[in-house]
Structure 1
Amino acid sequence: MRKMIYPAIVKQQETDLLQIRYPDFPGCFSTAASDAESFQVAGSWLREHITAIAEAGLPIPAPGKLSTIDLGVEESLIFVEVLRP
Structure 2
Amino acid sequence: MATLRVELVAADQAVWTGEAKMVIAKTVEGEIGLLPGHEPMLAILGAGEVRITLEDGNVIKANAEDGFLSVENNVVAIVARNAALV
TM-score range relative to shorter protein: under 0.3
Q: Taking structure 1 as the reference length, what is the TM-score of the superposition?
A: 0.27
Would you tell me which structure has more helix in proportion to its own residues?
1
Q: Which has the higher strand share?
A: 2
Tell me the TM-score normalised to structure 2 length.
0.27
Q: Which has the higher contact order (CA 8 A, sep 6+)?
A: 1
